[in-house]
Amino acid sequence: MYRGQAKEESALKSSILADARALFVKIAAFEMDDRIDLVNGLRESLREYSPFKSEPVDCVLWVPHGLVEANDYNPNSVAPPEMKLLEHSITEDGYTQPIVAWANGDLYTVVDGFHRHRVGKESKKVCKRVLGHLPLAVINTDRADRNDRIASTIRHNRARGKHKVEAMSDIVIELKRRNWADEKIGRELGMDPDEVLRLTQITGLAEMFQDREFSEAWVADTINEDDDLHDEETVTE
């Protein structure tokens, strides 16, 4: 590419971005529901020209939670402590993963993210912050068959890795080195006190106490080989 051509293309890109920003400013004049509709529409339009348009995550839409329904076959269950942690995670960090859904007319059925979907509906704090909407990544619309959706749900569930115990233990020790109290570790990582203690003991117990000095609980006597271990009795026949 010639220098002159590269300069022209750079100027064109700058012009397109400037025009887009000027257009986006006008969105602020609309009421909230209309603004959301406009943002979704712009994302869908941009997707048509995106080199990643075949990837569902390339176009995340904000959909009113009343239009999103749970599936009736998800085999995955989350215990109350983990559900509480998920709510805490979304409250603190926001939605970092969209809910995967299948579009059925104006309605959407959850394929993956059932519990993220629940938090968005049931947590008053989260629901208020996201204006009663949920972030959706819609899977290929040609997957209209129920069996395809079930298979997709299972794949999503089974593809997730599990935290290795040793790695989690290292993380707990690292946080303790950074002066996090057990209570804070448990709260932020969704663990009860016993779990924090067990993870501390797995790999970190020796390290945590390696610089401590301990008094000897007992001292072993040195026994000479020539000393009798006990008084021998004289046995007479």
- Please provide the DSSP assignment of 108-174 as one string: EEEEE-HHHHHHHHH-HHHHHHTTTEEEEEEPPTT--SHHHHHHHHHHHHHHS----HHHHHHHHHH
DSSP 181-225: -HHHHHHHHT--HHHHHHHHHHHSHHHHTTT-----S--PPP--T
pLDDT, tens digit, 9 for 90 and up, residues 164-196: 788 788 888 888 888 889 998 888 878 889 988
Give 203-212 pLDDT, tens digit per residue. Answer: 655 555 555 5
Q: pLDDT tens, 132-171?
A: 999 999 986 666 667 677 778 778 776 666 667 887 888 8
Q: What percent of the chain has pLDDT over 90?
A: 48
| pLDDT: which is higher, 234 or 195 | 195
- Domain residue limits, the chain: 24-159, 165-208
Q: Is 110 exposed, middle or buried (0-12, 13-18, 19+ CB in 10 A)?
A: buried
pTM over 0.85: no
Report yes or no: 50 and 90 within 8 Å, Cβ to Cβ: no
Between these two residues, 74 and 176, which has the higher pLDDT value? Answer: 176
Predicted confidence at residue 232, as pLDDT, reads 46
The pLDDT tens digits for 94-138 are 999 999 999 888 899 999 999 999 999 999 999 999 999 999 999
Q: What is the pLDDT of residue 208?
A: 55
Q: What number of residues does the chain have?
A: 237
Query: Is the pLDDT confidence value at 233 over 50?
Result: no
pLDDT at 44: 95
What pLDDT sits at residue 227? 54
Residue 50 · residue 119 · CB < 8 Å: no
